[in-house]
Amino acid sequence: MVSEISQYCDLCIIGAGITGVAALNAATKYLKAGSTVMIIDKNKGWGGHWNWQYDYVRLHQPYVHYTIPSRPWKLENKPNDYLANKREILAYLQDIVQSCTSEKNINLIEMFEFVATVEDNSMTEIVGDHPQEGAVSLFCKSTTDEHLFVNIIAKKSNKCHRIKYTTFRGLQT
């Protein structure tokens, strides 16, 4: 039997790598306190491809050039040309996520078991009596249960799963 549920949020970010973390960081500036942000990633945990690298794998370039604006690394006694390793990169990204959620009391829903694949529609008509320009409906399927689908209705969304930065849909700056 196929199950389908709906989930509402203020912002939906697809992809939990550094691009997704950077999107969360940028959005935190504009989101209202107590907003709900949903993260979709077909794999588990923050950090994107770094999660499945070997432990000895490092950045190709100095960590200072792999920095999200306004979020300095907490690497002590490291020269500026230091190549951070997998553990340090994952810790850096996780730390930013925690800072973002606590600064704005963000309700973070990490739906890592879902993968956005099917639809990404403008949803002006879907919200019926309350049309919201820029809102989207993301139809996702579970990677663990082939019978489970979720329809995410987000006021804003940002796709961060193809190593490409996009502008926020619906975000007022």
Ligand X SMILES: Cc1cc2nc3c(=O)[nH]c(=O)nc-3n(C[C@H](O)[C@H](O)[C@H](O)COP(=O)(O)OP(=O)(O)OC[C@H]3O[C@@H](n4cnc5c(N)ncnc54)[C@H](O)[C@@H]3O)c2cc1C
Is the CB of 14 or the CB of 154 nearer to ligand X? 14
Which amino acid, one-letter code, is at 165?
Y
Is the CB of 20 or the CB of 170 nearer to ligand X? 20
Q: CA nearest 53: which of 87, 18, 93, 91?
A: 87
Q: CB of 19: closest distance to ligand X in angstroms?
A: 3
Is the CB of 118 or the CB of 133 nearer to ligand X? 118
Applying CB under 6 A, the residues found at the interface with ligand X are 14-20, 40-43, 48-49, 53, 57, 59-61, 66, 115-117, 160-161, 163
Is the CB of 66 or the CB of 139 nearer to ligand X? 66
Q: CB of 159: closest distance to ligand X in angstroms?
A: 9
- Can you give the length of the chain in residues? 173
Q: CB of 131: closest distance to ligand X in angstroms?
A: 27
Q: Are strands 3-14 and 148-159 parallel, antiparallel or unpaired?
A: parallel
Q: CB of 56: closest distance to ligand X in angstroms?
A: 10
Is the CB of 10 or the CB of 41 nearer to ligand X? 41
Q: CB of 66: closest distance to ligand X in angstroms?
A: 5
Q: Which long-range contacts (CB under 8 A, 24 or more apart) does 46-49 make?
A: 46/16, 46/20, 46/21, 46/90, 46/93, 46/94, 46/97, 47/16, 47/17, 47/18, 47/89, 47/90, 47/93, 47/94, 48/15, 48/16, 48/17, 48/18, 48/19, 48/20, 49/17
